[in-house]
Amino acid sequence: MQSDPDTVSDASRRRLLRTVAGLAGAVALAGCNGGGDGTGSSPAPGESATSAPSSTPSPTPAAATAPPTATPTATPTATASPTATAASTPAGRSTAREFVARLRAGEFDAAHAMGTDELASNLPRSALERLWLGLLAQHGAVESAGAVETTTRGGSTAFVVPVDCAEGSARVEVGVDAEGRVGGLWFPAEYGSPDYVDTSAFTERTLTLEPQGCSLPATLTVPAGASGGSGAATATATDAGVVPGVVLVHGSGPHDRDETVGPNKPFRDIARGLATRGVAVLRYAKRTYACDVPRAEWAIDDIVVDDAVHALGVLRDQPEVDLERSVVAGHSVGAACAPRIAERDGRVAGAAVLAGNARPFTEVYPPQVRRIFEVQGGLSAREEQQLAAVTQLMTAVENGSVADGRPIGPLPGIWWKTFYEYDQVATADRIDADLLFAHGGRDFQIPADPAMSGWREGIDDADAARFERYPDLSHLFQPGAEPSLQTEYRFADNVARDLVVDLADWATGL
């Protein structure tokens, strides 16, 4: 029998929590508290930290070694900045060019050795490698590097190396000090609307949801031509008056209405992509983002399910929405909760499970931690110790010995306890609603095979449900290359067209 996790030494526990806190800053499975309301440049969803606005280039993350939970975060931590006295432009250009060339060649030791002591302390060699691999995972192999440009950052000159990749492009900003050493590194990234969105095909209006104890800012995206809407009808807008309506439900941590992850805004992509195709969408800020909620009160009903049920009622109150075709679509932990939301609501026509786990999350979390460590090439003795502590804590959740307010990673014990007690597969099996299950094949946070097979095997009438797997998509349903890892969320991309089209087709066909 495993020992009680409370017997783990205080030092080991502190190491574990430091590790988890660091990882939470690099994964986009939950959301982070911070300013903004999700309508513009909003903080990245993370478990515990706040990112720079997506419209402002952010510094690279420091050592990122903390496990994701249920929706990715890419919250950066500042690196050392270039000194006030920058190297001469020719020398700086040469250093920046050589630094990026070494990264392209996979010479991470040599690239790291080019940095100042301060940079090396803030950005360990392993973190530098993971960051570069994140760029490749999101955008594909670097095919060429352009001429070095200059910009100003913090009153000093920084050198910009533009790189073109197989599936996108990026800008690598390098600060060089007076001695010609790399003193700062940034990967500026900015959200861009996907090409499958037609802004003339929909309108948006701001709402405020008022569930008990909290006001949640929200956006309703409505196809042009729907009754009560405005704007010229297009070929993709409805002429029938009312349209299907979808409520989007976030992952595990605090999230804005766009489920912002670094420069990525997956819920904005989905909402506008669906509205372009004749589906109204309501997205809202999560309670733990919009309000001050004591962590001992983070039960999944209190911070996920009840607010989503309220949002569905608000959605059906809108004149453009067909009362018989309301849908809940959850992502990550929101996906796992979608059957419970549908059951509590009792009126939805469908529930979409987007990257939802079918197993107890206590079984999912330790492999997430291991995967993050193993991306670096195996586990160190310290990492093995940390993983063992995580496993012990999951055992404590399962046997009910964790206090409600005790932090386990970025989330309190009450969250783990109530999520563990909930059987999402059994709930999905008994609800009277059409089901759609969608999963990315590159999803390292909630691996597709056990998730999809778990749902399929646990539902009696699985043939009546729709299952869609997208081999090249990540947990955020963004295309990319292997290895899939958390640092790819630091780079801008959009939800894939295929996911949006399939979700629209399913919703309109209800």
In sequence order, the 6+-apart residues with CB closer than 8 A to the CB of 10 are none
**Distance in angstroms (rounded) separating the CA atoms of residues 215 and 293:** 12
Query: Residue 486: its pLDDT value, please?
Result: 87
Exposure on the CB side of residue 144, measured as CA atoms within 13 A: 2
Query: Residue 315: its pLDDT value, please?
Result: 98
**Residue 411 token pair:** 């989330």
Torsion angle in degrees (nearest 10) through CA of 487, 493, 497, 503? 60
Query: Residue 83: its pLDDT value, please?
Result: 42
Torsion angle in degrees (nearest 10) through CA of 320, 322, 325, 326? 50
Is residue 289 within 8 Å of residue 261, measured between CB atoms?
no
Query: Residue 291: its pLDDT value, please?
Result: 97
**Distance in angstroms (rounded) separating the CA atoms of residues 309 and 247:** 9
Q: Which 3 state secondary structure label does DSSP give 112?
A: helix
User: Region 139-156: what's the mean pLDDT?
Assistant: 94
Query: Residue 409: its pLDDT value, please?
Result: 83
**Distance in angstroms (rounded) separating the CA atoms of residues 458 and 307:** 27
User: Region 314-330: what's the mean pLDDT?
Assistant: 97
Query: Residue 260: its pLDDT value, please?
Result: 97
Closest CA to 268 of 41, 5, 507, 10: 41
Is residue 254 within 8 Å of residue 31, measured between CB atoms?
yes
Query: Residue 227: its pLDDT value, please?
Result: 80
Q: Please state which of the ranges 52-56, 216-220, 463-467, 477-481 shows the lowest mean pLDDT.
A: 52-56
Closest CA to 305 of 249, 347, 355: 249
Query: Residue 240: its pLDDT value, please?
Result: 52
Query: Residue 25: its pLDDT value, please?
Result: 30
Residues 319-336 as b/e (b if ≥16 CB within 10 A, e otherwise) read ebbbeebbbbbbbbbbbb
Q: Which 3 state secondary structure label does DSSP give 449?
A: helix
Structural element, H or E, at residue 96 = helix 89-104
Q: Give the pLDDT confidence of 85-127 residue by residue, as tens digits.
A: 455 578 899 999 999 999 999 999 999 999 999 999 999 998 9
Cis amide leading into 211 (omega within 30)? no
Exposure on the CB side of residue 471, measured as CA atoms within 13 A: 0
**Distance in angstroms (rounded) separating the CA atoms of residues 362 and 468:** 25
**Res. 144 pLDDT band, cuts 50 70 90:** very high
Query: Residue 86: its pLDDT value, please?
Result: 52
Query: Residue 241: its pLDDT value, please?
Result: 86
Is residue 163 within 8 Å of residue 145, measured between CB atoms?
yes
Closest CA to 221 of 158, 170, 268: 268
Vertex 72: Cα angle to 393 and 217 (nearest 5): 110
Mean pLDDT over each residue of the chain, to the nearest integer? 83
DSSP string, 286-350: -HHHHS---GGG--HIIIIIHHHHHHHHHHHTSTTEEEEEEEEEEETHHHHHHHHHHHHH---SE
**Res. 415 pLDDT band, cuts 50 70 90:** very high
**Distance in angstroms (rounded) separating the CA atoms of residues 83 and 119:** 11
Vertex 436: Cα angle to 434 and 438 (nearest 5): 175
For the chain, what are the domain ranges? 199-364+404-508
Alpha carbon 233 to its chain centroid, in Å, reads 33
In sequence order, the 6+-apart residues with CB closer than 8 A to the CB of 117 are none
Q: Quote the CATH superfamily of domain 199-364+404-508.
A: Alpha/Beta hydrolase fold, catalytic domain (3.40.50.1820)
User: Region 324-336: what's the mean pLDDT?
Assistant: 98
Query: Residue 485: its pLDDT value, please?
Result: 85
User: Region 199-204: what's the mean pLDDT?
Assistant: 97
**Distance in angstroms (rounded) separating the CA atoms of residues 219 and 264:** 17
Q: Please state which of the ranges 7-16, 250-259, 303-312, 470-479 shows the lowest mean pLDDT.
A: 7-16
